[in-house]
A and B are shown apart, each in its own frame.
Chain A
Amino acid sequence: MARTANDTLDLNVRPPAGRVRARPALVVDEHTVEIVSDSGEGAQKCGQSFGSIAARMGLGIWTVEIIPAEIQPPARSIEGASGNRIRLASRRVTNGGDEADLVVAFNDQVMLRRAREGELKPGGTVLLENKWKDHPDPAIAAMYRDAVEEMKRGGYDVREVPLEVECLKLVDDPHRGKNMFVLGMLCHIYSLDIDIARDQVAYIFRKKSDAVVQANHDLLQAGYAWAADHLDLHFKVPPSAMKEAQIVVNGNVAVGMGVVASGMEVCAMYPITPATSASHYLSEIFGNVGGVVHQAEDEIAACAFAIGASYAGKCAVTITSGPGFSLKQELLGLAVMAETPLVVVDVMRGGPSTGLPTKTEQSDLLFACFGGHGDAPKVVMAAADIEDCFYSVITARKIAETFNTVVVVLTDANLASAQQPFPRPRLDPAWHCPPFDQTPVPEGALPYDWDATTGIARRFIPGQPGGMHTLTGLAHNRKSCVAYDSAANVEGVRHRSLKLAALQKSLKAPTLHGAEEGDLLVVGWGSTRGAIEEAIDRLCAKGHRVASMHLKFIQPMAGGIREAMARFRQVITIENNWSDPPDTGLIDADNRRYSELATLLRARFLVDVDCWSEVKGQPLKPGTVERVVLQKLNAEETQP
């Protein structure tokens, strides 16, 4: 690393130790920081690095990307805000938290955006680039003044910071490098180790020249020193008690790692936000373990390619998002019908149609379960956090190959780009499925010899002597011959359906988080687990008798759910999708549309499950869950 060569210089730019000591850091349990800029100014890199440095110091973190849909949205625009939110805590963090305590804004408009969306804590601190104040364009200068005024009226503590002026002392183009200056500032504000920060910066620019690394180190140090000299903001979030080594990645990288760990060899995909970065990661590494990423001509071809590879004995995955998932449906029906194992990862985003491509939503659940034509029983499971993204893919492959069927793994835009440390996996050879048994097929063995109890049939693949048959999407009998007669059709449909029951018998009952029985049970699925459980913890601490239950398997659903729901006076699902608010305007009991999991629970268990949901495109906040639960509890109390 360039580190050694620069050791001397390093010492020269270190901030005077005395000044740092002059302001003792305020110890806090947790803090949430946002860095927002126009797209392309490096706020995301700054935020991710900040999170990584904090994680390396043992803090619990959760980072959330703030992403505009365009590559280059108009500069200084309200809608163009791009950046990162980092929640730091002295414990394991499971979600992005509530409002931010501190915001670094590269211009006044992106600052306004976050404030107006209610993402900043009332009275919170903003460090705002002040170069716009005296901008030659009077309109811009006026916008700046108005924005600062609006913020101050709103009770925010706005600190105007000469980011550009300071950076120009070190570099010619402050557009490239302001983010590292800010990173230095934040390292000082949060008492992060500057040496670890230097390592991180060197890592980010590892593919660049020593001169680039040096320039960024200088900016980092300068920001650190500037904050020490000019800001009275100084916090320390003590490290968590984590003892194990942790991996810090986002959900899409975790999916990619899961694909490798599962022993899959083929990933076929077509670019789509927010799923693609999983394939980016795989494209970079897959070849090292003999894997192939195929970028197909379209979503349909990607799915067909994966089915072909799986049929030939190389279990494959296709990774997509809602619109692509829609296009694949006909082929998923084929895979179900032909009983070809297949793993599909759907990184959900706001819909329908192109919807909110960069934002999170949980609206594909019913579609994943029932999307295809005909009776096409698929396994549907959802990842609850970053770690779960990794393990879900491994489990999905196991199920796909054991039951010869399609397994859909649902993640979402929130998990895709959020980072959270999780214990470094201890690789287990059993995750890697054994090679396909290609011994000659015994005389008389049939390609669809369905087991009467489980519905499972042994599969033959090309290359296996004696197993020759033609797989078909048409109704077929045990010999895989096209069969249109009623008996053969009923037999096929029944056995394919039976496999879900067989899987269901092997699933563990979901556990309760919070009270064992009581007034209200919150049921959730997918990426909302952290926020829901944190809210339940807060409510239990206040003496409420509430709990949450998180479903990993949606289709089939594990046993024990009915019993768990029965132990609470009320049940509500909280989800990131649409439901009509009850008894408003035209909405009544006969036409209310329930959110997706609530619909499933009501249908299956005949329990009057209520729901609350939102489609803001933002990760669910624990504070929101807390408020919803309290409202529900209070509403019940006020009823006669």
Chain B
Amino acid sequence: MSESLPHCLLDLADDDYTIEDYQSAVPRWCVGCGDHGVLTAVQRLCRDERLPPEKTVFVSGIGCSSRFPHYLKTYGFHGLHGRALPVAQGIKIKRPDLHVFVIMGDGDCCSIGTAHWIHALRYNMNMTAIVLDNGIYGLTKKQASPTSPRGQISNTTPYGSRLDPLNPIDVTLGVGNASFVAQSVDWIPDLTHDIIQAGFRHKGFAFIRILQRCPEYMGHRYDDWVQHPERMLLLKHENGIHIGADLGRIYRNQQEHDPADRNRAREIAAVSDPIPVGILYRNERVPCYEDEQVPDTLNTPERVKSYLEAEFDKFTVEPPAAQATTRAGAPG
């Protein structure tokens, strides 16, 4: 006992992280970009949850938001446009010890990588996916995205977008396998933190859409909502998000919503004004793919050898030396 005590103390000290432990390069997003606030919320989450930086992986696609991992002092995988989810699944499949986060933009998740989004919900692997949805392609300099509002002027829609936007929450709730669906906005960072925290603590695939301002190309899209807090609808529940007194004084438009109620969640999601914020749906009973698919057996050289030898036995033919001698005299 006396020997283990200093060891314990050391561990306790090591587990205490500060925001600085998760800060890397200075973000190069535009001034006023909503990504900054989300980054801070995520760094707070890492600290609060005491995530060892070496055990934490942020996987992203391509786009403004996908620079996210570069600004964190954890492991990061800044891969291809649209392919963050399958990369993250591969990372997680045999590494349950890792905390895996996925950062995507609306182009990543809702356009080029849509198939992966739907199937990520189906796999329900234990990870937290955040879609930073600014409704526009920023990095490629202003093209309409699937979540751009109808009439959006952009370089590819100079006369205004002619399609109604896709509602990512609505779509996600439409996939029966979804186990955690939430929405937040970049201009309420405390709530964003709490929602990401709930998603992180959820066992399964947490899908969080964060509406996010792009000051460069969509400067005023959310002005009305930022300036009129009553146009935000805060979802609260004893099993959902608790809204503190300070926040509650600003955002008075609140509604009790039980995250177990999927039908009600769909009704809420279908309305875009006021903007609903909170946990729309949560189901802890959906099994995780990795728990179902990955065997308990360890891959060791000994195990491989003994198994393969048995497998070879099934397909082995012995040269009929013994038989040949007894049959040598047979007519032929």
Which A residues lie at the B interface, using CB under 8 A?
20-21, 24-25, 27, 52, 55-58, 191, 193, 236, 239, 242-249, 253, 257, 260-261, 263, 265-266, 268, 285, 287-292, 294, 296-298, 300-302, 304-314, 316, 330-331, 334, 338, 421, 424-425, 427, 429, 432, 462-474, 481-482
Contact = CB atoms under 8 A, between A and B. Distances in A.
A25 B75 CA distance: 71
A464 B95 CA distance: 13
Given A58-B324, A243-B319, A470-B75, A257 B308 contact: yes
Contact of B307 (A191, A239, A289, A310): A289
Do most interface residues of chain A lie in helix, strand or loop, or is the interface mixed?
mixed
Given A289-B303, A471-B76, 15 more contacts: A20-B331, A249-B315, A263-B301, A287-B297, A288-B307, A290-B299, A292-B93, A305-B90, A308-B87, A308-B93, A312-B98, A314-B94, A429-B301, A462-B98, A465-B52
Nearest to B94: A314
Interface of B: 24-25, 52-59, 62, 69-70, 72-80, 83, 85-95, 97-98, 115-116, 118-119, 293-301, 303-305, 307-309, 311-312, 315-321, 323-324, 327, 331-332
A466 B25 CA distance: 16
Contacts of B297: 287-290
B332 A27 contact: yes
A280 B53 CA distance: 38
Contact of A298 (B91, B115, B331): B115
B86 A305 contact: yes
A517 to B, nearest CB: 37
B97 A463 contact: yes
A285 B54 contact: no
A307 B84 CA distance: 11
B53 A308 contact: no
Closest 5 CB pairs of A and B: A308-B90, A470-B76, A304-B86, A290-B299, A305-B90
9 contacts: A245-B317, A261-B308, A305-B87, A307-B79, A308-B89, A312-B90, A468-B74, A469-B76, A473-B78
Given A247-B312, A310-B90, A424-B312, A287 B295 contact: yes
Nearest to A52: B317
B79 A473 contact: yes
Contacts of A242: 319
Nearest to A262: B304
Contacts of B323: 57, 193
A106 B56 CA distance: 62
B295 A331 contact: no
A268 B319 contact: no
B54 A462 contact: yes
A257 B316 CA distance: 13
Most buried by A among B59, B115, B119, B301: B301
A312 B300 CA distance: 17
Nearest to B72: A470
A58 to B, nearest CB: 5
Contact of B304 (A260, A465, A482): A260
Contact of A481 (B25, B59, B85, B119): B25
A268 B311 CA distance: 22
Contacts of B55: 462-463
B83 A304 contact: yes
B311 A285 contact: yes
Contacts of B54: 462-468
A465 B299 CA distance: 23
Contact of B308 (A249, A260, A309): A260
A465 B21 CA distance: 13
Contacts of A247: 312, 315-317
A266 B305 contact: no
Given A242-B319, A243-B319, A316 B307 contact: no
A193 B78 CA distance: 62
B320 A57 contact: yes
Most buried by B among A193, A313, A468, A481: A468
B88 A308 contact: yes
Given A290-B297, A424-B316, A472-B70, A312 B95 contact: yes
Most buried by A among B69, B94, B298, B318: B94
A482 B332 contact: no
A589 to B, nearest CB: 42
Contacts of B299: 263, 265, 289-291
B80 to A, nearest CB: 5
